[in-house]
Structure 1
């Protein structure tokens, strides 16, 4: 049913209109029953549609889990991203939602950024092109995207309040570009503002961003929503163009916005504009006719195949040297008798990062399990973890804990008031050791003034000493077999990084447990203070007595091949905090070098979402970056290892030799409430090339199992004007003996410039899959914008140019910057990475071009 939105707005009261500008719950907007306007449900996120549940809290519904953002960046595959978008649009609808809080297009400014895994790349064009394609796919299913986080949220440090200081040229050329492409080419129906301030003004109330640039320049017609719990002022946000504040309860919109309109502090036209934008978007989606729908788990075979194909397409073969005149990869299984699979992530393969991007996948696949299945009984696949890399003690697994009635998990009994009150309010169930209660999610649980007791019966397989741990959000005590073992209530511990910065540092104790015997574990929690969640994370881990590295080395020496799976976890790489170092956690570097010394046929798989130190890479013949590859990761890795698929990925971000070489070093993550983007436009490969700094592996790098030749490009016209594009045709041939994948990358390099510019910048790319001997021709177009830089200088237009052209000079405070193309020669570099250029074309621009005219 089509609604007359303007007529609807005219009939609504100020209070009803204001109600629409804020959330009713954590994951839904407010309904207006008088006009049959339903609540609209939103859901995270980039790696899968989780549904209306906060990660780690409450019972989640399983969903498709696709590879993380950096893995998708590594695909360099625009059509694939649209396919993934269609699948996530379908999954979003299955969760009863109409808005997907994705994609994340912040940039890899520093490899230490805690959410690097969630973002596509260090390169703004690659990020924007992939995001636009993903958005088109999602929105084709009647689901709006909210490209995020707009803008300058490229670290987790003090993210709620920090001031990102970015000059106008850097802002336009680098950090705004992915959002611009998401709007102009992707048609995104939503934008999510970031928490931080941008040049002194919170992004949620920054009119230059939300109105001048987003709407007036880019033609954005969708809605702008805050990040969750973002702070702002009512008047400032309304004037700037913010449409929706999330989640409930409101802090600046809703009843506060109604009061501001009634008191004349906010123009009612600003309120009407926000409501019109929201209702028009929901009408366009068909959401105004929706009936409430319970979240469903839809596990489709085609979605599994797509996730597997995406993971394969993301894997970057960094190094593949020959041993005994043969490359280790793909594995030659002829005569293969044994494989040592070593490393902490071989059995516990990490498929996603932490924070709001977490989902409960339909299933998980571990690399070692799939390898055993595929190699069969003829090859002995043996395993040693080689050590522990957990940042905190692993959460108690559902397989080792039962409720008193024998079902898996913890029984949680909620009582009224403090510990002196035994009046029971309700009972809830938690499947594992993450025992958090949220009033909005758990029926019968109040917002404050209660306490609870969670009881679980623990059974372990090995007798010995165990670490039992507690990370609390509110004061808790942990009792084992009736004895107090961890006390986080008598003295409140310091705050740590867990639970988005709300959790405490980890408290631990060593306990003795007997195999096969039930041990009663009780968590007592004081929830009398008012906050959004109460409880704790309870962990348990066996204390190793033998040296795990020694055992791993002994195994490696006994086997034909050693496969070492190293990496991080969703605790090390997560929303809420940045990493402190590039180093692999634990003793993993020692493990790699010791195994490689024991077995010359050593392959290392790097299971991370962001770059790590790879100073050890030259010590091993083969290295492959496999990222956080989603639910089908195990199958995809083994497909590539066995040569049933070609490693299709290329690095979307540079792997540096050392952290001190990185562009933001010295200006990351910030200090005294401010972060200065001092490297300017020189992000990623632009920085290393301009500063002549060596790197471990360059942007765009990635090997195939075959060999490609990029032929001499053909160009119809080597001159360009303001209304003319240059078309370049590039022949590519697979000259090897296997089918494979190549990514052709096109960079523009100005020979001279009126401003300091990077040596070259990525302006186009194309991915091809070719059979042995097959050739194809890639056609790319370059427009004047691809040669331009942002000129923020008013004095150029008002004073300097009139002196040359004879125009009358004038100075206006309202004049804006503009895209400028210098006259001169430009080299078009065509290659397979930023460091491996195969061909070159020269383009001449005879006259300076002002693209605003």
Structure 2
């Protein structure tokens, strides 16, 4: 039986209900009676981790993170990445990728900005469409997330995002709308938060009236993990699948709700039919192949990731220093120089097939003999993880009583303990564990010990209690807000003398995301002498390259940043190295903006983001001119944290207060905010330098029956081939309500040879001119004269033209 309408009617009520919740963490149950296979999902969006833990597991290709893809402004490249990721998902035995993440950069401090594309809805929507098409044209479902209003990680599982319908329609829902109408996404994931009252997973307005009614969606809506909150309400609202399994609110409870008349049998049939449609689309419906997860290190993936990483790099400043010419000694300096910062933290992280650090990339190009390394300072949030040959013993109960029921090894003192734990021998909600091993210091000194956990923990060194996260444990800002804040201790150790380390752990009653976790780190703080060594290295080299920024400890799901200053003493390090060597390049790796008090003195600054596993190769390609710095900023960089759109004296605006965060700025986020309040950002939205020069000429805009068409010519006037992004902004001065000074409405990325010119045609559909009328529940074009500006950033607009457009009302169901 292959007709899903016949198949759903052949299912019993209990079988239909079984399809509406996970069987385990990553899959839905098979129904062998009718030959229905098992649907499997995997985390994304910068890879496919498979069914393993967030740490370790089968290795996967690590692609550039979302903000890096956003910086490419390249829809075709996003589709190529989606195509490659479809292969990765299949290699992990899955049918569904939990990606892409398209929440908007509302605040510069959101810990998950790295995973999202942009502050701009139109750029985000276009890239999402390309990415989804790449996945789904190859038989893998996208699951666009998080729907909707999840623009902060602070109390995200309970926070009520209070957003006007106009701001939702014009900004926050736009990527989801195009994902449905243009890309035909097969999956949507509801967010954790509340939206204007109800949880999104219980919101009939969001899941049924908007998603299925206004946009005509026929795919599946699944909850974020542990993000559903009810039985009848969520099913009636439009939530198809509760994840993960085993079920908490469905199963027998949902069957009982149907029999009690709280949920109509036809509603259950519709939800089950949606799931069967997804299984049919992805080949899972009759899938009978044995489950297998493979690691596939493909040369074509390495090449794509390297190319995409270079195309994402944004050249922020260049006083003629870049591209570099090989020759002379190069000082490679900074806390990110010998560490491959390839991804952010949280559910997007994975075990990469390999990871190329900047040092690796430069050594491969120049030879190690040409390089000199100096770390200078540290930038970690947590002490470096304790690693080695560690042993963990699990006990029944929380008091270490009796003999261990399971003993295993660990490579490092970092663990996510999800069910099934210890091969099913341990109750994951009621256990204790001892981790033992040694730490041999390389130098004498007072070492810092850091410990945080989801559960009670304490750490002993040579029998002495050094870090206690047991007494007075409370949840904080680690492990998705499920873990305590780091507890720090210090102990003096002698070089070469092994120290015995013991960690004791006891689980707590599981709430929220339902896991236990542990992290223990040991590190020797760097002092003034480390910066002095870096300054000496820089002064004795022809060129100094500084690799600074953050890491996935800072840019992570589950925790917003407290500010946008570079962590630790990095600002001091940069200032002193730049003063020591006028040929210094600063390479930033962050998931968003940082303050740059040293900018005026630095001759060259490159923003490299987290560009995936080929990071070091991609960065070296750009530094030495093998590749163009192809990126343009997808997010405005403010001069200081207080300039950003969510800064307010009212904490309810950000970070939220008493369970509510109010989007008071409405549609005025990102560059719209800076234009409105007259603040000049450090670097504007869309900005990025090239190794060549471009001009724009001849902008002409003609009204048409279906909107307007803009024409202009772009020319490469330099002596190198290069790429640029032509950006088209629209403004309306006479609107009956406040509108931004300008809004991005179309763009095109193009590569040109030296001296080459090309005509670019950009369409402006009726929706480009419209604003959302809450009172009339429609899209409305005021009519009259509209200003069209073309340029290379929101602040570099070189051509302007006006066009007359008639007044109109656009029905919700109309296509763009």
State the TM-score, normalized to the length of structure 2: 0.96
2:331 match:
340
The answer to which of 362-371 and 456-465 deviates more is: 456-465
Cα distance change on mapping 1:836 and 1:535 into 2, 3 Å: closer
Q: Among 76, 100, 117, which residue is 1:79 paired with?
A: 76
1:810 match:
none
2:172 match:
175
Q: Among 123, 127, 142, which residue is 1:130 paired with?
A: 127
Cα distance change on mapping 1:528 and 1:375 into 2, 3 Å: closer
2:383 match:
393
2:697 match:
711
Q: Among 639, 661, 670, which residue is 2:621 paired with?
A: 639
Q: Among 385, 397, 419, which residue is 1:417 paired with?
A: 397
Q: Distance in 1 between matches of 2:181 and 2:581?
A: 53
Q: Among 352, 359, 368, which residue is 1:368 paired with?
A: 359
Does the CA-based 8 Å contact 1:471-1:536 persist in structure 2? yes
Cα distance change on mapping 1:182 and 1:310 into 2, 3 Å: same
How much has 1:551 moved relative to structure 2? 2.2
Does the CA-based 8 Å contact 1:107-1:124 persist in structure 2? yes
1:23 and 2:22 are equivalent in the alignment: yes
Query: Gapped runs of 5+ residues in structure 1?
Result: 322-326, 403-409, 795-816
2:480 match:
500
Q: Distance in 2 between matches of 1:726 and 1:476?
A: 63
Secondary structure of 1:431's aligned partner: strand
Q: Among 664, 668, 677, which residue is 1:691 paired with?
A: 677
1:331 and 2:311 are equivalent in the alignment: no
Does the CA-based 8 Å contact 2:480-2:557 persist in structure 1? yes
Does the CA-based 8 Å contact 1:710-1:731 persist in structure 2? yes
Q: Distance in 1 between matches of 2:438 and 2:155?
A: 40
Q: Distance in 1 between matches of 2:421 and 2:720?
A: 53
Q: Distance in 1 between matches of 2:506 and 2:797?
A: 63
Q: Among 457, 461, 465, which residue is 2:438 paired with?
A: 457
1:349 and 2:357 are equivalent in the alignment: no
How much has 1:739 moved relative to structure 2? 0.9
Q: Distance in 2 between matches of 1:202 and 1:98?
A: 27
Q: Of the two, which has the highest radius of gyration?
A: 1
Q: How does 1:732-811 map to 2 (within 5 A)?
A: 732-794=714-776
How much has 1:337 moved relative to structure 2? 1.7
Does the CA-based 8 Å contact 1:153-1:196 persist in structure 2? yes
Does the CA-based 8 Å contact 1:830-1:839 persist in structure 2? yes
How much has 1:850 moved relative to structure 2? 4.2
Query: Gapped runs of 5+ residues in structure 2?
Result: none
Q: Distance in 2 between matches of 1:573 and 1:377?
A: 30
Measured against aligned partners, the alpha-carbon deviations of 1:211-243 in whole angstroms (never above 9, x if no partner) come to: 111111111110000111114222211111110
Output the aligned Cα RMSD: 1.8
1:575 and 2:537 are equivalent in the alignment: no
1:808 match:
none
Q: Distance in 2 between matches of 1:25 and 1:153?
A: 25
Q: Distance in 2 between matches of 1:562 and 1:534?
A: 44
Q: Distance in 1 between matches of 2:609 and 2:160?
A: 31
Cα distance change on mapping 1:421 and 1:602 into 2, 3 Å: same
Secondary structure of 1:288's aligned partner: coil
2:294 match:
296
Q: Distance in 2 between matches of 1:100 and 1:767?
A: 27
Secondary structure of 1:201's aligned partner: coil
1:186 match:
183
Does the CA-based 8 Å contact 2:358-2:617 persist in structure 1? yes
Q: Distance in 1 between matches of 2:510 and 2:552?
A: 28
1:472 match:
453
Cα distance change on mapping 1:285 and 1:332 into 2, 3 Å: same
Cα distance change on mapping 1:570 and 1:257 into 2, 3 Å: same
2:524 match:
542
Cα distance change on mapping 1:623 and 1:545 into 2, 3 Å: closer
Q: Distance in 2 between matches of 1:517 and 1:224?
A: 56
How much has 1:427 moved relative to structure 2? 2.2
Q: Among 823, 827, 841, which residue is 2:801 paired with?
A: 841
Q: Distance in 2 between matches of 1:378 and 1:521?
A: 38
How much has 1:154 moved relative to structure 2? 0.4
Q: Distance in 2 between matches of 1:233 and 1:387?
A: 49
2:788 match:
828
Does the CA-based 8 Å contact 2:374-2:537 persist in structure 1? yes
Secondary structure of 1:86's aligned partner: helix
1:591 match:
573
Cα distance change on mapping 1:626 and 1:422 into 2, 3 Å: same
Q: Among 549, 565, 584, which residue is 2:547 paired with?
A: 565
1:621 match:
603
Q: Distance in 1 between matches of 2:392 and 2:204?
A: 47
Q: How does 1:142-181 map to 2 (within 5 A)?
A: 142-181=139-178
How much has 1:68 moved relative to structure 2? 0.9
Q: Distance in 1 between matches of 2:80 and 2:590?
A: 24
How much has 1:572 moved relative to structure 2? 1.1
Measured against aligned partners, the alpha-carbon deviations of 1:61-90 in whole angstroms (never above 9, x if no partner) come to: 110111111111000000000000001111
Q: Distance in 2 between matches of 1:140 and 1:17?
A: 28
Q: Distance in 2 between matches of 1:101 and 1:364?
A: 23
Q: Distance in 2 between matches of 1:348 and 1:703?
A: 26
Q: Distance in 2 between matches of 1:70 and 1:112?
A: 14
Cα distance change on mapping 1:547 and 1:496 into 2, 3 Å: farther
How much has 1:632 moved relative to structure 2? 0.6
The answer to which of 422-431 and 820-829 deviates more is: 422-431
Measured against aligned partners, the alpha-carbon deviations of 1:749-774 in whole angstroms (never above 9, x if no partner) come to: 22321221111111111111111112
Q: Distance in 1 between matches of 2:322 and 2:804?
A: 44
How much has 1:268 moved relative to structure 2? 1.1
Cα distance change on mapping 1:466 and 1:123 into 2, 3 Å: same
Does the CA-based 8 Å contact 1:384-1:551 persist in structure 2? yes
How much has 1:663 moved relative to structure 2? 1.4
2:244 match:
247
1:809 match:
none
2:634 match:
652
1:521 and 2:538 are equivalent in the alignment: no
1:221 and 2:218 are equivalent in the alignment: yes
Q: How does 1:189-200 map to 2 (within 5 A)?
A: 189-200=186-197
How much has 1:272 moved relative to structure 2? 0.8
Measured against aligned partners, the alpha-carbon deviations of 1:112-145 in whole angstroms (never above 9, x if no partner) come to: 1110101000000000100010000011221111
Does the CA-based 8 Å contact 2:396-2:426 persist in structure 1? no
Q: Distance in 2 between matches of 1:173 and 1:180?
A: 10
Does the CA-based 8 Å contact 2:155-2:481 persist in structure 1? no
Cα distance change on mapping 1:567 and 1:127 into 2, 3 Å: same
Cα distance change on mapping 1:719 and 1:579 into 2, 3 Å: same
Secondary structure of 2:793's aligned partner: coil
The answer to which of 139-148 and 590-599 deviates more is: 590-599
Secondary structure of 2:30's aligned partner: coil
Cα distance change on mapping 1:602 and 1:29 into 2, 3 Å: same
Q: Distance in 2 between matches of 1:448 and 1:228?
A: 17
Cα distance change on mapping 1:546 and 1:620 into 2, 3 Å: closer
Secondary structure of 1:581's aligned partner: coil
Does the CA-based 8 Å contact 1:562-1:603 persist in structure 2? yes
The answer to which of 478-487 and 596-605 deviates more is: 478-487
1:488 match:
469
